[in-house]
Amino acid sequence: MKKTLPPSGNPQGLSRRALLGGAAAAGTLVALDVHAEPAPGHAERAPAPAPGGKPFELEEATVSELQAAMTSGKHTARGLAERYLTRIQELDRSGDLPLLSVIELNPDALAIAAALDEERKAKGPRGPLHGIPVLIKDNIATADKMQTTAGSLALVGAVPSRDAFVVERLRAAGAVILGKTNLSEWANFRSTHSSSGWSGRGGQCRNPYALDRTPSGSSSGSGAATAANFCAVSVGTETDGSIVSPSAASSLVGIKPTVGLVSRSGIIPISASQDTAGPMARTVADAAALLGVLAGIDPNDAVTATSKGRAQADYTRFLDPNGLKGARIGVPRERFFGYHPATDALVERALELMKAQGAILVDPAPIPMAAKLDEPELEVLLYEFKAGVEAYLAGLGDKTRLKTLADLIRFNEEHRDSELPWFGQELFHQAQEKGALTDKKYRKALEACRKLSRGQGIDAVMNKHKLDALVAPTQAPPGLIDLVDGDHWLGSSSTPAAVAGYPSITVPAGYVAGLPVGLSFIGRAWSEPTLLRLAFAYEQASKHRRPPGFAPTADLRKPTS
């Protein structure tokens, strides 16, 4: 939930930093204890070793590299799944400060992978994700042996009757869904002072770069797990910041698509006007490959019809190492810089690098009306959450006796020790007070959001300066986990694109004391090809991504790098 900052901080007020936001042993899956809580305190321990004390064979392996290894016969889909599952078992829940990024594993993963190996032999691969191990966020429905709970104990046992559309797309592409990732419970739309990455079902997820730091959220588990090389790629969801924020916090590439490019059906909702699923990956190329699989028109999500003629089957074709040359890029300094000097220093280096690669910077290029988005956005989300979550509960039929937001509030109160031990459900209470989506107050707030973020916001600045994209720090380095007082938030750049329903992509921009910092490229609706071209060119010129070391805490002696 957004935080109010002191006058000396970022004037952004509220921040959507965490909204939308097991294992194999000898070939046998072992269920994770999903109720396990992390040990109290911040006791130090040595960085976690790779399984067996040896380097992980698949560390930082890309989708194309894994695909080539299966084509050559060096690896099989089952073999890849076994290796990732073993790594999850040995690294995700070990030590005094466990990562807790994976909430549940798919008991059918190895059988699915083996069947895909046989299919490859008989018919060849279905496409770039055939046999590729993927993790998905635990608010994305699967009609299988796994749960879909948004991290809440309230939905344990309420198995959906069908897969989410994006899961159907993944299965059709031949991806191997290894399991579900932990998240900020209810995609962090429950409390105004929550700790990102905490859920009643999964405990407190941690950042693999420094285990006492937040993974950010709400797609916290997807970010931490992908950074830790527990999968090839993952799927997160975002309402405002919950793909780009955890991606930045774990030195990943995260794509928040245009609303309508990727279906939301079967995903536990917050906002019909802002929600979307999207890729989280270690490289721009991997994120682009996953985006092409996720995108598609879904008859159960009417907004996806707007992507007709705009969606691409293969986004990797837009990747160009020279893609910054001649690009006009705006720098919206007002509100999106200035809240963390070391972050600004890294982004200044990034701007210089982009200029060296031939980009034309328009600096400054403020986004008009950005300061006026917070109040109407929250009003819209409160209304849409109540309507959306009750529609989702109704779709579960007799799988759950919880049918209303009031029922969820009551469940949490009745299970206070497990659901409300650290923070409350203020947002649930605020949403419960809202009426129907026909209310004039809701319609007025929604109209204000669209007008201020689009025609008077992103489109206005891009038209004025004839820009290809805007670029800004994604957020500050990840802060310390604080279950007592909640997240300490400085600022971010996710809100304009989130409210507009426009795309943004974050890429690694460097490190402060070994803690990742991300850089966001923001554009108009349906500009994913342009943003991917720019992000890829920057990634190739900068090469900032490096794997995490599972350090117990940040090394404050390290300089900005």
Q: What is the DSSP string of 463-486?
A: HHHT-SEEEEE-BPSP-B--TTT-
Which range (2-6, 138-142, 504-508) has the least confidence? 2-6
Quote the CA–CA distance of 194 and 489 in Å, as a whole number. Answer: 11
Please check whether residue 298 is in contact with residue 263, taking contact to mean a CB–CB distance below 8 angstroms. Answer: yes
Q: Is residue 548 included in any domain, yes or no?
A: no
Please list the active-site residues. Answer: 137, 218, 242
Residue 303 predicted with pLDDT over 60: yes
Helix (H) or strand (E) holding 405: helix 405-414
Please check whether residue 139 is in contact with residue 187, taking contact to mean a CB–CB distance below 8 angstroms. Answer: yes
Residue 17 predicted with pLDDT over 90: no
Q: Is residue 561 included in any domain, yes or no?
A: no
Among the listed residues 209, 125, 256, the one whose alpha carbon sits nearest the alpha carbon of residue 550: 209
- In the chain, the number of structural domains is 1
Whole-structure pTM over 0.75, yes or no?
yes
Burial of 372 (0-12, 13-18, 19+ CB in 10 A): middle
Q: Is residue 552 included in any domain, yes or no?
A: no
- pLDDT classification of 13: cutoffs 50, 70, 90: very low
Please check whether residue 386 is in contact with residue 432, taking contact to mean a CB–CB distance below 8 angstroms. Answer: yes
Q: Where are the alpha helices (DSSP H) in 63-217?
A: 63-72, 77-91, 109-123, 165-172
Q: Is residue 479 included in any domain, yes or no?
A: yes
- pLDDT classification of 23: cutoffs 50, 70, 90: very low
Q: Where are the alpha helices (DSSP H) in 22-108?
A: 63-72, 77-91
Q: Is residue 164 included in any domain, yes or no?
A: yes
Q: Dihedrals φ, ψ of 277, to 5°? A: -95, 165
Q: For tokens 């129907």, what's the residue? A: 436
Q: What is the mean pLDDT of residues 99-111?
A: 98
pLDDT single digits (tens) 408-445: 999 999 999 999 999 999 999 999 999 999 999 999 99
The parent domain of residue 398 ranges over 50-542
Q: Is residue 38 included in any domain, yes or no?
A: no
Q: For tokens 């698509």, what's the residue? A: 257
- Determine the pLDDT at residue 50: 52
- Determine the pLDDT at residue 9: 32
Residues 6+ apart with CB under 8 A from 373: 449, 452, 453, 457, 495, 496, 499
Which range (22-31, 133-142, 245-254) has the least confidence? 22-31
**Omega cis (within 30) before 125:** no
Q: Is residue 264 included in any domain, yes or no?
A: yes
SS3 at position 42: coil
- Determine the pLDDT at residue 87: 97
Q: What is the mean pLDDT of residues 120-149?
A: 98
Percent of the chain with pLDDT over 70: 90
CA distances (Å), 191 to each of 62, 291, 487, in order?
Answer: 37, 31, 11
pLDDT single digits (tens) 304-319: 999 999 999 999 999 9
- Determine the pLDDT at residue 1: 39
Q: Is residue 30 included in any domain, yes or no?
A: no
- pLDDT classification of 95: cutoffs 50, 70, 90: confident
Quote the CA–CA distance of 111 and 177 in Å, as a whole number. Answer: 11
Residue 41 predicted with pLDDT over 80: no
SS3 at position 152: coil
Q: What is the CATH number of the domain that holds 309?
A: 3.90.1300.10
- Determine the pLDDT at residue 51: 44
